[in-house]
Structure 1
Amino acid sequence: MSLVEDLTALKKTAVERINTAGVDVESLRVKLLGRKGELTTLLKGMKNVPAQDRKTVGEVGNHVRQTITNLLAEKKAAEEVAKLNKQLASETIDVTLPGSSHVVGQPHVLQQIIDEIEQHFLGLGFKIIDDTVDSPEVETDEYNFERENLPKDHPARDMQDTFYITPEILLRTQTSPVQSRSLEKHDFSKGPLKMIAPGKVYRRDTDDATHSHQFHQVEGMVVGENITMADLKGTLLSIMQALFGEKHQIRMRPSYFPFTEPSVEVDVSWNEVTPDMKPEDIEWIEVLGAGMTHPNVLRMDGVDPEKYSAFAFGLGPDRFAMLKYGVDDIRQFYLNDIRFLSQFNQKGN
């Protein structure tokens, strides 16, 4: 049998083998077209073909190779389609089934309190000073203490012992430095300064149910002409009623702070106050400190205390959250227990 006949016979049997159901296409390709495959073996016989016949035999060989290659490619493509259809059939989605639920996050309960405070004061015309821009948590002794009328030998520093990086660099104990920096930049020809400064502060307290070495604070200040204690009381009453309810009242008790004079401790009524309620039936709880800004503080910040007066106050969002929601341990806010935090849903559901 001539080589042309052998090639023609190989083409016929190859077509039959390729069209066989379940054939392994890759294995068959190697057997037919590989370096030791059947077609390659036949074509090695070209050396025995007379020179005048080699062109004809070569064309037949190329035709057989191309035919086999095309058929194998078609077979492989058909197998891929069948495989994909089978996979799609097994992964069919029932669109009538209910969708998977996803847990939607929410702001931390402390951030919710801070947001409430900020929104209230924005409504009163205050501006929010971003402490991360205007006053870092790592502060200087000058801005944290000395500008607040607390020189290095002042005994009141013991109440705000903090973490020192160097003798002059420390973790701030209050957001008061934001007020000092704001006063340095404020142009009083454009009106009074009304601001609050929320942020994180640090003190060397022993952690327990009511104390933490780090906590949040919102300090506020109003500086302008003819600012009085009555302005301070009205401002604090409005924020307390916004947070706890309009039937709650406040009372102010004399106290001492180095940076205010006179100074007051502010209590909020634990229970709702009605017109017919006797004073002895009102339960009070201390919530913040406040007062008229000390003239020395204004003077050190470049403000003339003979022309301008000011009041200042400090709110504790952590403490407010404890009071508002009946939380008995401040450490719960920092444990990142989703079961605890998910109770404080802003939408109330």
Structure 2
Amino acid sequence: MSGPNTQYDPVEVAALDPEAIEQAVTDALAAIAAATTLEDLKTVRLAHQGEKSPLALANREIGALPPSAKAEAGKRVGQARGRVGQALKERQAALETERDERILVEEAVDVTVRVPRRPLGARHPISLVSERVEDIFVSMGWEIAEGPELEAEWLNFDALNIGADHPARQEQDTFFVEPAGSGLVLRTHTSPVQVRTMLEHEPPIYVLCPGKVFRTDDLDATHTPVFHQFEGLVVDEGITMAHLKGTLDAFVQRLFGDGIETRLRPNYFPFTEPSAEIDCRCWVCGGSGVLDGQSCRTCGGTGWIELGGSGMVNQRVLRAAGVDTDRYSGFAFGLGIERSLMLRHNVGDMHDIVEGDVRFSQQFGMEI
């Protein structure tokens, strides 16, 4: 086995050639000087100090040299790498100083400039109408009652005298909650709150039940699958349709203006008997059906506007809630809040109400 080659000349290795090393340093210094940003300098560092840079490759060749040649080659490569490293350090410091000075100028804040006021939002008119209706009935001595939106099918239908074969209990009208037979629905009205109130409290009962309800309607100009309504319930001794009529007259005058009266048209609802549709005189044309020589658009020329349904609480409903029908009677009514809003303010499209555009809400301010 032959001994080490003590005559090996490191100059003969291309990467260790003094001229090659000096050229690598010259290229690196030129690139460093040309870097104008810290990102540019990062790229230069990778090219001239990274693992694949000329000086890094030259440094690897030193390990293959005989001992007598390593010291001189190592010194030459080390000095070259040191010059490049120092130049990088100085250039980075200079570029960081330039960046900091530029930031101080570009991001300067004039504390004397008036701050632009952030535009205020607006409360949704549905909330405003709901609170106004609640205030009207609270001022008459009523209480506000609330209940869950996910409701038992018995409370939503059976307790209200809505039989198993009623169309409202079909899937095209009601959102049933899976699994099938769970006995849960998204409430289709706030009437279950009335039943809960009668189950939990002894008469006399005077409550208003506002809330969100759900129907399987498509969203169009006059319908939405999620809407709001309020229902009133009175259970007391000696309650008659006259009390219902007087309550509705007082309510519509507070909501729509003095002089507005209501009328009741016979109708049928499972949970009231007798039942009636609620109409009120058109507040736009005053009940004449004519406005500016033309048919009133608000009431369609009839002079009356349909508001909702009402009637005397069916005795079956009272008995289902444990109320003594020999002693107590009651009335109930229900109106849609979206409908009241559309009528009161001539809103022509349900999309405007439900789509959440703040520009729509801003028209109403903070009070309605």
User: Which band: TM-score by shorter chain?
Assistant: 0.5 to 0.7
Q: Is the 2:231–2:334 Cα contact (8 Å) retained in structure 1? A: yes
How far off its partner does 1:314 sit?
0.4
Q: Aligned equivalents of 1:202 and 1:223: distance in 2?
A: 28
TM-score (norm 1): 0.65
Q: CA deviation at 1:180?
A: 1.6
- Residue aligning to 2:231: 219
For residues 149-192 of structure 1, give each alpha carbon's deviation from its aligned partner in whole angstroms, at most 9, with x where no partner exists: 23345xxx4588653546876654422122223322x1328x63
Report the Cα distance in structure 1 between the residues aligned to 2:47 and 2:192, rounded to whole angstroms: 80
User: Unaligned stretches of 5+ in structure 1?
Assistant: 1-9
1:306 to 323, 326, 334: 326
Q: For the structure 1 residues 337 and 319, does the alpha-carbon distance in structure 2 shift closer, same or farther, using more than 3 Å as the test?
A: same
1:283–1:259 Cα change, 3 Å: same
Q: Secondary structure at the match of 2:230?
A: strand
The partner residue of 1:104 within 121, 124, 128 is 121
d(CA) in 2 for partners of 1:337 and 1:194?
30
2:191 corresponds to 1:180: no
- What is the match of residue 290 of structure 1? 310
Contact 1:261/1:292, CA 8 A, preserved across alignment: yes
User: What's 1:263 paired with?
Assistant: 275
User: CA distance change for structure 1 residues 273 and 231 in 2, over 3 Å: closer, same or farther?
Assistant: farther
Q: How does 1:20-39 map to 2 (within 5 A)?
A: 27=44
Q: Which amino acid aligns with 2:159?
A: R
Evaluate the alpha carbon distance shift between residue 163 and residue 284 of structure 1 in structure 2; reply closer, same or farther with a 3 A threshold.
closer
| Structure 2: tracts of 5 or more residues without a match | 1-21, 289-301
TM-score (norm. length: structure 2): 0.62
The 1:233/1:344 distance shift into structure 2, 3 A limit, reads: farther
CA distance in 1, matches of 2:214, 2:51: 76
CA distance in 2, matches of 1:207, 1:34: 65
Assess if the C-alpha contact under 8 Å between 1:144 and 1:172 holds in 2: yes
Q: Contact 1:192–1:225 (CA<8 Å) still a contact in 2?
A: no
Deviations 1:181-237 (A, max 9, x none): 3322x1328x63524142213266x87755556543211212344444454344323
Letter in 2 for 1:174: H
Q: Distance in 2 between matches of 1:265 and 1:66?
A: 95
Deviation, 1:32, is 8.7
Shift of 1:80: 0.9
- Pair 1:196 & 2:209 matched: yes
CA distance in 2, matches of 1:334, 1:104: 16
Distance in 1, matches of 2:275 and 2:53, equals 100
Counterpart amino acid of residue 200 in structure 1: V
> In the aligned structure 1, how far is the partner of 2:50 from the partner of 2:359?
69
* CA–CA separation in structure 1 for the residues paired with 2:96 and 2:210: 65
Shift of 1:36: 7.5
Shift of 1:325: 1.0
Q: Kindly, what percent of the aligned residue pairs are identical?
A: 30
* Other-structure match for 2:355: 336
* Residues 29/129 of structure 1: CA separation in 2 closer, same or farther (3 Å cut): closer
Q: Is the 8 A contact 1:221 1:311 kept in 2?
A: yes
The secondary structure found in structure 2 opposite 1:114 is helix
Secondary structure in 1 matching 2:252: helix
| 1:1-349 aligned within 5 A | 27=44, 73=89, 75-93=91-109, 96=113, 99=116, 102=119, 104-107=121-124, 109-123=125-139, 124-132=141-149, 135-136=150-151, 139-140=152-153, 142-152=154-164, 157-158=166-167, 162-163=172-173, 165=176, 172-184=187-199, 186-188=200-202, 192=205, 194-202=207-215, 210=222, 215-271=227-283, 283-327=303-347, 329-333=348-352, 336=355, 338=357, 341-342=360-361, 344-347=363-366
Cα deviation, residue 33, structure 1: 11
Counterpart CA distance in 2 for 1:297 and 1:104 is: 44
Whether the 8 Å CA contact 1:211–1:330 is kept in 2: the answer is no
Q: Are the counterparts in 1 of residues 143 and 208 from structure 2 also a CA contact under 8 Å?
A: yes
Judged with a 3 Å threshold, the aligned counterparts in structure 2 of structure 1 residues 111 and 333 are, in CA distance, closer, same or farther, namely: farther
User: 1:4 maps to what in 2?
Assistant: none
Which amino acid letter does the alignment assign opposite residue 268 of structure 1? C
| Matched-pair contact (CA < 8 Å) for 1:265–1:288 | yes
- Tell me the matched-pair count: 324
**C-alpha contact 2:145 2:193 (8 A) present in aligned 1:** no
Shift of 1:94: 5.4
